[in-house]
Amino acid sequence: MPVHRPAPTLLTALFTLLLAALSPVPAQAGPAGPAVPVRGSAYMGTGVLAHDGQSGTPKTGLATQTEGVDVASYQGDVAWSTLLSSGVRWAYTKATEGTYYTNPSFAQQYDGAYDVGMVRGAYHFATPDTTGGAAQADYFVDHGGGWSQDGQTLPGVLDIEWNPYGSACYGKSASGMVSWITDFLNRYKARTGRAAVIYTATSWWTDCTGNYGGFGASNPLWVARYASDVGTLPAGWSTYTMWQYTSTGPTVGDHDKFNGALDKVVAFANG
């Protein structure tokens, strides 16, 4: 004989919903909190505050230092005229990330800096866990990261720093990371005729490359340190070309110093 079960009461239904709501949902763990950022959202200095902190800013008005900024898509349309009038003379714009992302604000940011007379360049946020170094260099050059000898275009930058999407060193050994960087730099040089700049922080470089010193003779250094001085540089470099010193500057947060007067910036652009 079939068993007749009573229809669920409203109280039963509410109890079922309550149990579902209280059931644990697997969290997507990330390096800076419970949620991993969306791929493509990384930017120059994305991990500096979390890993190295901030302790002061450099002295202002140094005649031998030229003010610059770096921007990415999250900053949207940039007020380049305002930045120019405040003393900013050079800028870098994020062009690409991995082989899967191009900055939707690239044209306004990259061309806008040029249009007001700034010296400008493009940078690539490296993701060594997704594709090879040579492939990412090709993607960068093909999507805005090239170079021309016009006095206003700076060489491309390899932004290699903490991984916002997973393990800090992208799952690579120190030797594996050095090999990946070498592949990127060699392909960029072959494609453009210029040596790419390396942007990094000393602590990341030490942890993830074993403080490798083999690039200093050929590739300029852009060091990240939010403090009153640059501190200890990564192995292989006795000086820096650029220094990202804060993420809380006026108009655009990420501000930088070029280690030289404006004529040196132009000379660096010309190669």
Q: Check if 254 is active-site.
A: no
Catalytic residue among 52, 138, 159, 254: 159
- Catalytic residue, chosen from 67, 97, 138, 161, is 161
70 catalytic per annotation: yes
Query: Number of C-alpha atoms within 13 angstroms, CB side, residue 14?
Result: 3
Q: For residue 129, indicate whether it is catalytic.
A: no
φ, ψ of residue 200 in degrees (nearest 5): -165, 175
Assess contact for 58 and 8: CB atoms under 8 A.
Answer: no
Report d(CA 19, CA 83) in Å as an integer.
Answer: 55
**CA 83 to each of CA 87, 92, 137, 212, 260: distance values in angstroms, whole numbers, following the listed order:** 7, 13, 30, 36, 19
Looking at residue 33, what DSSP letter applies? B
Catalytic residues, which ones?
Answer: 70, 159, 161
